[in-house]
Amino acid sequence: MLIPVQGISASQLQDTFTDARSEGRVHDAIDILAPTGTPVVAVADGTVEKLFTSDRGGLTVYQFEPGGKYCYYYAHLERYAEGLAEKQSIKRGQVIGYVGSTGNANPAAPHLHFEIHRLGPEKQWWKGDALNPYPVLHGDQMLQ
């Protein structure tokens, strides 16, 4: 699986999965720090399931992999790649957006918030089980 931020290597990743957050929440993701405007790429082939703006995540992309077993979530984007649309097929390595600090991200620390969810039979990302992206992106674990 590709690291979703261009120019970032596996050795630069930090495991922030399950770190404490406000209101008693846990961080079901890893944050990948990079300058605003750094390209964000699709980690694998798939389909843009949803483009959404939320209070916490800011500008986001929900991507389903071809088998519909996993959802990849990219958040705090500055903007989407030109022409990105829902239900569009995307390829591994394709630029889908740019690192930013939208939503509740600290403007002084732009980053990509990246999540992986194992989907249930209903294929609803909000009901999926959060998986730690760190060992997958670091090359220590494969998705099955």
Domain boundaries, the chain: 1-7+28-93
SS3 content of the chain, % helix, strand, coil (to 5): 10, 40, 50
pLDDT in tens, 110-140: 999 999 999 988 887 777 888 889 999 987 6
What's 136's DSSP letter? H
Distance CA(141)–CA(90), nearest Å, equals: 23
1-7+28-93 to CATH, choices 3.40.190.10, 2.170.190.11, 2.70.70.10, 1.10.3720.10 = 2.70.70.10
pTM of the model: 0.91
Tens-digit pLDDT profile for residues 16-56 = 876 555 566 556 889 999 999 999 999 999 999 999 999 98
What amino acid occupies position 63?
Q
